[in-house]
Structure 1
Amino acid sequence: MTRTTPFLQFAVASLCITAGLLIAPVSAETLKVGATSTGIPFTFLNVKTGQIEGMMVDVADAVAKVSGNQAEIKQTVFSALIPSLTTKKIDFISAAMIQTPARAEVVDFTDSVYDKYGDGLIVKQGETADIKSLDDLQGKTLGVQAGTVYYNIATKKGGFKAIRTYDSIADMARDLALGRIDAGLGDKPIMAYQIKTGNLKGVELAPHYASIQVGHISLVVRKGDTKLLNTLNAAIAKIKANGELDKIIAKWGI
């Protein structure tokens, strides 16, 4: 039997340790994701489980998984999403946040995960007058969700008796049904889904209203966070290529 010298034993052990370090997997990172509780079916609070769910939550989970990480969803009101991102309370946003030039000045957007996302107008049920644009609401009281592009659109348009802001579409629809406002401007896919499922009562979409702004929904990262942006874009490309994104969208009936 051939015996190894102490030096040879030490060298072999060192090589094994080094090899082990080289092949050791990189530990998964937990990415904090901002999502709202009021954007059914994109993001919403499941009152039975106490968890935030929805299409954009599934997208966040999927991109985190294929990039070797995991997503931790942080419930955040819509108007606080970008401030939470810029102050590093969250790592990225996954919500029904449309890309706009103004937002692109302070945050970076990934590749699109949902296209043709636009605004709609809700009115009190049975009062679907021939409203084609905001011009038909001049002198009226308009409701909008705080922190959305629709508030900027409404204030720029002007001519309304008043513009009232709400933390959620549900709150806006409730005031509309009670006659406190004349119409509500918001995300058409969200409002249409909630009306269809009975979550918004006493209101309906104005059928002839033409959307002012139609754009893309993406994930959102801090300005200049190129590393995370590239990681998320690579993951988005994978879930598009393998059909997972299509399955997520179909799951939520959007």
Structure 2
Amino acid sequence: MKKLKRYLGVLGMLGVLTLVLTACGGRKSLSQQDVLTNDRTSNTITWGVKADTKLFGLMDVQDNTIKGFDADVATAITKQILGKNGKTKFVQVTSQTRIPLLKNGNIDAIIATMTISPERKKQVDFSDSYFDAGQALLVKKGSAVKSVKDLNKAGTKVLGVTGSSSVANIRKFAPKAKVLELSDYAQAMTALKSGQGVALTTDNGILYGMATENPGYEVVGGTFTKEPYGIAINKGQAPFKNKVNAALKEIEANGTYNRLLKKWFGNVTGFNYKEASR
């Protein structure tokens, strides 16, 4: 009798295991699920944002929250899509990690100073542009470097961030320069201060943010590329992408966008926030 009970118990366990495996096999992976449906169910949109980029996304150590233009735009879009009680969740990303996190389904969208480019469009879809940036140079005040042309000399070292389009651009505009790639902007700024390079290059909005924190440094030479920022979304998520674009249009129409742009860039010396507006 005991053997029979043990046998029936084993059969029961096998049956439950079979049901679990069957259910798992039939369920779509997180990256394949409909983002808009999931977000409406949870009343939350999860955004990948920078946490080391002043003006766009910077961690405030006082309250442990990420603050900046990108974060505020993400919040405004969330309210448009989910309603006034919609919630935003921010996940810290870098130029290297943002696309893998999106492709894996860890985040719903990237809003992190990400330039729309043909190469990136092979991996992700983009919303309409929400900020028009341009690549520039940050140098120590009094530097002989005044424009990108001054970098095109053998042995000249320029600093950039791995995974950003600025690295490829500087190799195009100053092919003789040597590019030292760092993992994030904080490390790149430290490298510039320690003399590991004569200039740090990335988008002008980011550089102006660095200059406000480091008074001994300045942005020079104007912009030498056009870098339209877009919100990156996984391929196959057309309903969510359409909602994001509609939300962008709405916050532009109702004045929210310009209010946020002025909030973060209106008082930044040397930066024409109107040129970056949509």
**Higher helix proportion (structure 1 or 2):** 2
The DSSP-based 3-state class of the residue aligned with 2:138 is strand
C-alpha contact 2:152 2:175 (8 A) present in aligned 1: no
* Greater fraction of residues in strand: 1
Decide which of 174, 183, 189 is 2:205's aligned counterpart.
189
The aligned residue for residue 254 of structure 2 is: 242
* Structure 2 segments unaligned to the other structure (5+ residues): 1-39, 266-272, 274-278
Percent same amino acid among aligned pairs?
26
**Cα distance per residue 1:197-222 (max 9 Å; x no partner):** 2x13532222xx25332131121101
Aligned to 1:6: none
Give 1:28 shift. 5.3
- Measure, in 2, the Cα distance between the counterparts of 1:36 and 1:237: 23
Contact residue 173 and residue 201 of structure 1 kept, 8 A: no
Unaligned runs of 5+ in 1: 1-25
Does residue 251 of the first structure (1) align with residue 266 of the second (2)?
no
Q: SS of the counterpart of 2:200?
A: strand
On the 8 A contact 1:146/1:165 being kept in 2, the answer is yes
Instruction: Tell me how many residue pairs correspond in the alignment.
Output: 223
1:225 aligns with 2:237: yes
Which AA in structure 2 matches 1:189?
G
Instruction: Indicate yes or no: 2:228 matched with 1:216.
Output: yes
TM superposition score normalised by structure 1:
0.81
Q: Distance in 1 between matches of 2:215 and 2:253?
A: 39
Deviation at 1:27, TM superposition (A): 4.8
Cα offsets for 1:31-53 (capped at 9, x unmatched): 11100111210111111111111
Sort the Cα spacing of 1:155 and 1:128 in 2 relative to 1 into closer, same or farther, 3 A. closer
Aligned match for 2:124, one of 89, 93, 107: 107
- Letter aligned with residue 187 of structure 1: D
Q: Contact between 2:49 and 2:93, CA under 8 Å: does it hold in 1?
A: yes
Quick one: distance in 2 between partners of 1:38 and 1:204? 19
Question: Does 2:110 correspond to 1:93?
Answer: yes
Please provide the CA RMSD for this pair.
1.9
State the SS of the aligned residue for 1:185. Answer: strand
SS at match of 1:56: helix
Report how far residue 237 of structure 1 moved. 1.3
Shift of 1:155: 4.1
Q: 1:172 aligns with which of 188, 196, 200?
A: 188
Q: 2:150 and 2:87 mapped to 1: Cα distance?
A: 43
Q: Distance in 2 between matches of 1:128 and 1:67?
A: 49
Could you say which residue in structure 2 is the equivalent of 1:19? none
Moved more, 172-181 or 95-104: 172-181
- Residues 161 and 182 in structure 2, CA contact (< 8 A), matched pair in contact too: yes
SS of match in other structure, 1:60: helix
Q: Is the contact made by 1:38 and 1:45 (CA closer than 8 Å) also made in structure 2? A: yes
Partner residue in 2 for 1:148: 164
Q: CA deviation at 1:134?
A: 6.0
Q: In structure 1, how many angstroms separate the alpha carbons of the residues matched to 2:71 and 2:162? A: 21
